[in-house]
């Protein structure tokens, strides 16, 4: 849209400023959500790593003769979580 200098009024300037502000807010919200998505992905990776470390340690403890309830208590998790960690272990 081409605007002639004589068509520029306070109302037109206010309208343009409002459009710019709306676009700026839209971009800020979009950028924030993208950043949160990246943080979420990093947190999930860290959570999976930590759970894997806990599973390995719990399995080693079971091989050393620890009871599942004791392992659960030491990790501060329900016994069902320890049972999940033990799946596939012979």
Give the integer Cα–Cα distance in Å for 35 and 33.
5
Kind and range of the H or E element at 75? helix 68-75
- Structural domain for 58, as ranges: 10-86
Answer whether residue 75 is part of any domain: yes
Confidence of residue 1 (pLDDT cuts 50, 70, 90): low
* DSSP code per residue over 12-54: HHHHHHHHHHHHHHHHHHHHHHHHHHHHHHHHHHHHHHHHHHH
pTM for the model stands at: 0.66
Answer whether residue 28 is part of any domain: yes
Answer whether residue 4 is part of any domain: no
When divided into structural domains, the chain yields a total of: 1
Confidence of residue 90 (pLDDT cuts 50, 70, 90): low
Instruction: State the sign of the Cα–Cα–Cα–Cα dihedral 43, 47, 50, 56.
Output: negative
Answer whether residue 41 is part of any domain: yes
Answer whether residue 25 is part of any domain: yes
């Amino acid at each position: 849209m081409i605007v002639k200098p004589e068509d520029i009024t306070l109302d037109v300037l206010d309208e343009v400023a409002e459009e710019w502000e709306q676009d700026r807010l839209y971009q800020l919200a979009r950028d924030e959500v993208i950043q949160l998505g990246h943080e979420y992905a990093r947190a999930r990776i860290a959570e999976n790593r930590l759970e894997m470390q806990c599973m390995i340690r719990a399995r080693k403890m079971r091989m050393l003769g620890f009871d599942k309830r004791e392992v659960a208590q030491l990790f501060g998790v329900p016994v069902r979580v320890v049972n999940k960690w033990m799946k596939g272990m012979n």
